[in-house]
Amino acid sequence: MNDNVNLHTVTGAAMDKPIPKNYKKQIFRISLLVVIAIALVVLAWSYLPKGLQVSQSDVRIQAVEQGVFLDDIIVRANAQPLNSVILDAVESGRVEEVFVQDGAMVKQGQFIFRLSNPQRNLELLQRKGEYAINVANLANMRVQDQNAKSEHQRRVSALEFDLDQARKKHQRNIKLAEQGFISSVQLEEARDAVERQEFLLKEEKLNRELEVKVRSTALEQLETGIYGLQNGLKIVSNTVDNLAVRSPMDGKLTDFKLQVGESVNAGKRLGRIDDPKSFKLAAQVDEFYLNRVAVGHKGSARMDEKTYAVEVMSIFPQIKEGRFLVELKFTKEAPLKLNPGQSLDTNISLGDPAPALILPMGAYINDTGGTWVFVQAKDGNTFERRNIKIGHRSNRQVEIISGLEKGDKVLISSYTAYQNVQRLQLSGK
């Protein structure tokens, strides 16, 4: 009983004892440290990268602008002669003479070089012989035909005379028979003689008609053969003449490197002759614009601080290394000192200028197909992926249809390394 009273007394005394001040201070310090730790964690978290780390010096940033979209493309075009004639070897042969050198100005009809071909010369002699023989045969046939005509006429004349005499005799016999001086048998014989002469004359004329047809057919065939030989002779003769090659036009001889003694095969490219007074422009254009470039589209070329009007004259749609060929002509004046192969910056208009939201053209459009871009977030250092829709594009500008607004800042560097990234974090300066 006393023990219990004592224990209670001791316990009550302990519980009624006041808490030391140092203990409260320790609790406050611990709470403060916890708050500071949480704040540091939050602060550290705010500074952690929120995407793929990218150095700011490796990227380019451009704001979306409200401006005028220039629907055109700029290409590097090479000057080429508008009119050229290719010099190909028509015949094989050996180079005997070279009359001009590469780069020389030549006149139409001027000799350029001469080949030798003994086989062609022999063929020309054979054709001449065949032609002479057939011409002689034709002359002989015509003489024979004339002689035959003369002989036929002589025979016809003789038969007509005999027929006339037989008819006269028959008329006399008719009168004598009426007077009883000759018998009916003699009268019948006279009539038979007339009929015989008429038959002989008719037969002669019929034979002559058949002979004329046969001879006419033979003469026509021979004349046709001679005409063919004559054409063949002209061809061979022209071939031999073409061994001495003349310039087909006035111009500048280019890519001509023949040497005396060189063997040339038929069809070999020997050079060309360019008209030095007129030029065209040839440009390689990205295949993206194949369906937008058309014959007749206007443009301009710039040379020596001066602009010259041009127009698309032909399009070659064959794609090679992602490009196709376009040829342009000068519509007004052309540069006075233009040389083949010289390059000019050329602008080709694809449509009229129009107001639009625009961004500079860059590799990022090709990397994404123009379907998305990285847009700067509010913190200024983060760039988030955003879907967009583009309209027309040139090699300078892109028309923005939707997904962006004026003032949005867009990463316009290459996106090759960011295809599977949703967010970029800029670092450094």
Question: Is the pLDDT assigned to residue 28 strictly greater than 60?
Answer: yes
In the three-class reduction of DSSP (H, G, I as helix; E, B as strand; rest coil), residue 222 is classed as helix
The per-residue pLDDT for range 310-345, each reduced to its tens digit, is: 999 999 999 999 999 999 999 988 888 888 889 999
pLDDT at 49: 47
Per-residue pLDDT, averaged over 208-236, amounts to: 80
φ, ψ (nearest 5 deg) of residue 382: -100, 140
% of the chain at pLDDT higher than 70: 89
pLDDT tens digits along 195-204: 888 888 888 8
Cα 83 to Cα 249: distance, rounded to the nearest angstrom: 10
114 pLDDT higher than 90: no
CA distances from 410 to 214, 355, 386 (A): 96, 20, 10
Whole-number pLDDT of residue 22: 65
Beta bridge partners of 301: 308, 346
Per-residue confidence band for 134, with pLDDT thresholds at 50, 70 and 90? confident
Q: Which of 353, 358, 356 is nearest to 396 (CA)?
A: 358
Residue 349, pLDDT > 70, answer yes
Is the CB of residue 90 less than 8 Å from the CB of residue 239? yes
Average pLDDT value for residue range 23-44: 67
Q: Is 382 left (phi over 0), alpha (psi -120 to 50) or beta?
A: beta
Instruction: Please report which confidence band the pLDDT of residue 76 belongs to, taking 50, 70 and 90 as the band edges.
Output: very high
Question: For position 420, what pLDDT does the model report?
Answer: 87
If residue 356 lies in a helix (H) or strand (E), which one and from where to where? strand 354-360
Q: What radius of gyration do the chain's Cα atoms show?
A: 54
Average pLDDT in the 186-190 region?
81
What are the tens digits of pLDDT across the range 136-177? 887 887 888 788 888 888 888 888 888 888 888 888 888 887
Q: Give the per-residue pLDDT at 171.
A: 85
Question: Would you tell me the crossing angle of helices 118-179 and 184-242 to the nearest 10 degrees?
Answer: 170
The predicted model gives 125-131 an average pLDDT of: 78
Query: pLDDT per residue over 249-282, tens digit each?
Result: 888 888 888 888 888 888 888 888 888 888 899 9
**Per-residue pLDDT for 8 more than 50?**
no
Contact 383, 375 (CB under 8 A): yes
The span from the CA of 52 to the CA of 425, in Å, is 6
Average pLDDT score over residue span 370-394: 90
Q: Looking at residues 107-116, what average pLDDT do you find?
A: 86
| DSSP output for 253-269 | EES----TT-EE-TT-E
Is the alpha carbon torsion for 27, 29, 30, 32 positive or negative? Answer: positive
Model pLDDT, residue 313:
94
Q: Could you tell me which of 9, 255, 226, 274 has the C-alpha nearest to residue 128?
A: 226
Mean pLDDT value of segment 54-78: 89
Residue 2's pLDDT is what?
44
pLDDT in tens, 389-428: 998 888 788 999 999 999 999 999 899 888 888 898 888 6
Tell me the pLDDT of the chain averaged across its residues: 82
